[in-house]
Amino acid sequence: MPIYVTRPSMPELNDFMEEIRPIFERRVLTNMGPVYKKFQQMLIEYLEVPELSLFTNGHLALELGIQAVGLKKQGVAVGGGEVITTPFTFVSTTHAISRNNLKPVFCDIRLEDYCMDPDRIEELITDKTVAIVPVHVYGNICDVRKIQKIADKHGLKVIYDGAHAFGEKFDGESIGNFGDATMFSFHATKVFNSIEGGAMAFHDKRYGIPLHELKNFGIHGEVEISAIGGNAKLDEFRAAMGICNLRRMTACIEARRAVHEQYFERLQNVEGIRLCPVQEKVTSNYAYLPIYVDREAFGKSRDDLYATLREHGIYTRKYFYPAINELECYADFQKQATPVAHDAAIHILTLPIYEGLARDEIDRICDIILQK
C-alpha cells in the first residue's frame, strides 16, 4: 500500500449523514445558510477568536482578506504598495498578494523554524510598504511579538497566512489573535478539513462587513453592491463536514502528536538529519514533519532520499521547493536574494504525518531512511 505525505481526517459516514440530512430537507445549499452559521460559531469558540469569516478555501480567504483590510497608503498609488512576505511557502501566499496588484518583497527566513526572519524585515521597508504577510510555515509560529513591534513602528498591517497553524497557541494565546487578521486553510490535506474551505480570523470589527461581503460579490443588500467582490462562499455541505471534523479535533491532534513523537524517537540522533522540534511556548498541531537532509553528514541528498522512499511506495513531498522567488512566474523578483530560504528549499523533505499513520508504517519509513 502506498503511503502519501498526508491523508485527510474524516468523520464516521453516519455522523456526516446526520449532519447533512437537514440540508436535504431545507434545500438551503449555500449563501451563508444555517449550517454555515453554526460552523462559524463553533470555530469562533474552538479557535478562541472574536470574529471569523468563512470562505470556500484558504487561498480566497487570504486574497479577499488582503483586499478587505484595504492596504492603501497616503501618497502610494492603489496597487502600487509593497508587501513584505516570505519566499518559503506554498505559492498561494504570494499569489494572494500579487492578485491584489501589490508587489511581494521577499524577506529571508530563519533556519531554525523556517519562518520569516524578523531581523531582516526593517531593511526591506520603503515608503511604499503597506503590510507584512508572514507565514506560520509547517505550523511553526513566527516571531509574532517582534513582527508586531516593527509593524506598529512603521504603521503597517500584518496579515498572517496561518494555513498550517489551525488551533495552535503561542504563550497560551490563540494564534488567530495576532496581527490584523489570520487565514486558516481547511483543505483536505490540512490538520483540520472541511474538504475545501478556509477562514479569516480578525478582531477589528471594521473588517467584518468587507470580509463577509467581498466573498459574495460585494453584495450589501438586495440592490446595493458595496465593493468589487468575488464568489468564495463556503457551502452547507462543506460546513457540515467541517462541523463533523471539528468534533474530532482533540483525538486527531493527539494522534498526530504520537506520530511526531515516534519520528523523533527514531530520527532525532541521526547524523545529517535535522528535525524541527515544537517551539517553546507553542501548543502545536503537528501539521507537518519536515526533515532537513545534510548531504555531507547524512551521506545521501534530499533528492536521493525522496527517490528511494518513492521506490518503496512512500510519497514524501519537497514542500516548499523551489522557493517562490525562484519560480518562473515570479522571475521579476529573482534579484531579491534569500539564501536561507534557498538552502531550506533544496534540503527539506516533508515526511508522511496524519491521523491513522500506523506505528509499523512509521517504523518502515524510518528503516528505509536509515538504510543508507
CB atoms within 10 A of CB 112: 12
Binding site for ligand T4K (CB under 6 A): 4-8, 57-59, 89-90, 92-93, 135, 161, 163-164, 185, 187-189, 198, 315, 317, 319
- Residue 200 · residue 180 · CB < 8 Å: no
Residue showing the smallest CB distance to ligand T4K in the complex? 58
Query: Closest separation between CB of residue 176 and ligand T4K, Å?
Result: 15
Task: Indicate the residue among 73 and 185 with the shorter CB distance to ligand T4K.
Answer: 185
Query: Rounded to whole angstroms, how far apart are CA atoms 362 and 124?
Result: 42
Task: Indicate the residue among 117 and 161 with the shorter CB distance to ligand T4K.
Answer: 161
Query: Closest separation between CB of residue 318 and ligand T4K, Å?
Result: 10
Helix (H) or strand (E) holding 202: strand 198-202
Query: Closest separation between CB of residue 148 and ligand T4K, Å?
Result: 20
For strands 198-202 and 51-55, give the pairing. Answer: antiparallel
Q: In the 8-state DSSP scheme, what is residue 139?
A: G
Task: Indicate the residue among 32 and 199 with the shorter CB distance to ligand T4K.
Answer: 199
Query: Rounded to whole angstroms, how far apart are CA atoms 122 and 147?
Result: 10
Our CA dihedral for 298, 4, 195, 176, rounded to 10 degrees, sits at -20
CB atoms within 10 A of CB 290: 23
C-alpha cell at 2: 502506498
Query: Closest separation between CB of residue 271 and ligand T4K, Å?
Result: 29
CA dihedral sign, ordered 148, 154, 155, 160: negative
Task: Indicate the residue among 73 and 362 with the shorter CB distance to ligand T4K.
Answer: 362
Query: Closest separation between CB of residue 26 and ligand T4K, Å?
Result: 27
For strands 224-225 and 219-221, give the pairing. Answer: antiparallel
Paired strand residues for 217: none
Query: Closest separation between CB of residue 169 and ligand T4K, Å?
Result: 19
Task: Indicate the residue among 59 and 212 with the shorter CB distance to ligand T4K.
Answer: 59
Prior bond of 192 cis (ω within 30°): no
Task: Indicate the residue among 73 and 317 with the shorter CB distance to ligand T4K.
Answer: 317
Query: Closest separation between CB of residue 324 and ligand T4K, Å?
Result: 11
Query: Closest separation between CB of residue 183 and ligand T4K, Å?
Result: 7
Angle between helix axes 13-26 and 236-246 (nearest 10 degrees) is 150
Task: Indicate the residue among 124 and 188 with the shorter CB distance to ligand T4K.
Answer: 188
Closest CA to 191 of 284, 282, 275: 284
- Residue 229 · residue 12 · CB < 8 Å: no
How many CA atoms are closer than 13 Å to the CA of 10, on its beta-carbon side? 10
Task: Indicate the residue among 82 and 161 with the shorter CB distance to ligand T4K.
Answer: 161
